[in-house]
A and B are shown apart, each in its own frame.
Chain A
């Protein structure tokens, strides 16, 4: 397969002599080679078949310089190009040397794409927030797909110290129009009482394939709030794996996804309730048009020690055309007896009664629909702390909502 040969060549060309990284990389690449790119024959990839990229000729591009003063960290083709003098930021190599992160953070997994990301760990970014830090960091991920088909493996590791209060915003931008594959992993480690807000703005270019993994490990009384926006092109598969490892930790997973034409968007969320008194709240909303397909698979796993768990999950979908498809599936596995878990899924159209009500006051149909959409999407974003960020994101989403049949 073309794509595997290309990846192997890139791997050989970039493997360097540094002992620690070399071992991690080789181990993960060997594991990746065993499985290759998964196909929809596997249950975990049932609705989303990444092997459609098998004939692609993706390669690692050379990172060029890039500037944008609105962002604190700029990563081009997976390599950190600039950071605005933030002393918390370093690369994986130095992060390991300074023992901010551990080799075991990059152990091989059952997910081939995480292994592949680990195999290209050369230029990942480590952001280390000390205890009690309060900070908002904006990361711009640039894909320079101007001249050739591009594959990138961005890796961000965030360490949030005790009682820190952090916002990480990740936005992606494409410089060209060539076919590209974004295989990103963002990992979070939350110490006791840390409060982390994570905002993802994924507006893809026409010819993007995306595999994304967000891995979260939470200690006592920590809070992780995720706001994840996807405007999918071709194929996007985004996984969130949150491990509530200690008592009193809480996560909010919120997402808005759009897809039109033949595009495909798949979200898999996994919340591991490992200890007692942890709570989770999930709200994902989709707007699908054309012949697009959406998938939402929400797994909640309550371990036997996790008494007093409170888990809420909701997935709502608006289908703007008769040909759009949504597969929505809650997956609850509960081993404790004193828990509260609720889940629900809806699929429908915009509320016509509401639209008539608005129109009966003089508001044109298009504007009425927009108001209803703004309300629908706004609920998901309502918890974003920074008002400006929230409003800008809401406007961006509203502008990108497909028109209907297309």
Chain B
């Protein structure tokens, strides 16, 4: 599904990604772990298409096409979903209206007809239960006045409605208490299927107890220094990044 080769990226002339190689197949869950400033979030942003990041070298192939050729909204329409580390508050933009516009933009892109209000409400009421969100949040402006946990759950709620092919979860666990973490993880797990791939970017192993990865990659200073299965996450938790990095260098 996704094939990243020797990806180099920078922001304002500061090089951050320095040769990422990663292959993700449909149905797989990958975790990207690493210390602060290693480039985890940058990788998620670059894949989503943030224009502040410059791709200097390398290639990203997504569903057989050159991903880097696409704008951020085109990538979303092609099935890439970024769950934001810091969801943006949009005062005055109604949450339901926003989500319906997004879903219809994606349907239009796929050549499907726009969804009508009734069908849309059916989808919404179905998915909102999954994330244990209050109905009243739908009537409010996007993320405005939401608690930290509500914002993160709202991200996964959007993901559940938009049904992406490739989900990028950027530090979705940060700022969540254990109950909220379980709800978010359940939401993500409920969506897991053979067609969909997930990349979880996280600092801590904690989230991976609930969203169990098939592969774990350790990102340090812009390159993946080690890959393994879910036991690697446990090893990192136990020994810390420095120890594991040291071992790698031997």
Contact = CB atoms under 8 A, between A and B. Distances in A.
B88 A375 contact: no
7 contacts: A353-B88, A357-B88, A357-B90, A360-B49, A362-B103, A367-B101, A375-B90
B162 interface: yes
B92 A358 contact: no
Interface string A336-368: 000000000000000101101111111111011
A375 B144 CA distance: 12
Interface string A358-399: 111111110110011011101100000000000000000000
B158 to A, nearest CB: 7
Interface string A134-148: 000000000000000
Interface in B100-116: 101-103, 105-106, 109
A358 B82 CA distance: 11
A362 B76 contact: yes
B92 A360 contact: no
Given A357-B84, A371-B98, A365 B92 contact: no
A16 B158 CA distance: 71
Contacts, number: 74
Q: Considering residues A353, A360, A372, which has the most beta carbons from chain B within 10 angstroms of its beta carbon?
A: A360
A380 to B, nearest CB: 10
Contacts of A375: 90-93, 141
B90 A372 contact: yes
Contacts of B71: 359, 365
Given A357-B90, A362-B109, A371-B98, 8 more contacts: A356-B51, A359-B76, A360-B72, A361-B105, A362-B105, A367-B101, A372-B93, A374-B93
Given A362-B73, A362-B109, A364-B105, A374 B92 contact: yes
Interface residues of A, number: 22
B184 to A, nearest CB: 18
Given A358-B98, A375-B141, A364 B92 contact: no
Contacts of B93: 354, 358, 371-372, 374-375
B48 interface: yes
A78 B88 CA distance: 50
B199 interface: no
Nearest to B107: A362
A351 B141 CA distance: 15
B102 A363 contact: yes
B77 interface: yes
Contacts of B81: 360
A362 B106 contact: yes
Interface of A: 351, 353-354, 356-365, 367-368, 371-372, 374-376, 378-379
Contacts of A372: 90, 93
Contacts of B141: 375
A372 B106 CA distance: 19
A170 B51 CA distance: 45
A154 B176 CA distance: 61
A205 B225 CA distance: 66
A379 B94 CA distance: 12
Nearest to B83: A360
Contacts of A359: 71-73, 76
Given A363-B73, A371-B98, A356 B50 contact: yes
B92 A379 contact: yes
Contacts of B109: 362
Closest 4 CB pairs of A and B: A375-B92, A361-B102, A362-B76, A357-B88
B87 interface: yes
B101 A363 contact: yes
Contacts of A361: 76, 98-99, 102, 105, 158, 162
Nearest to A365: B73
Nearest to A373: B92
Contacts of A353: 88
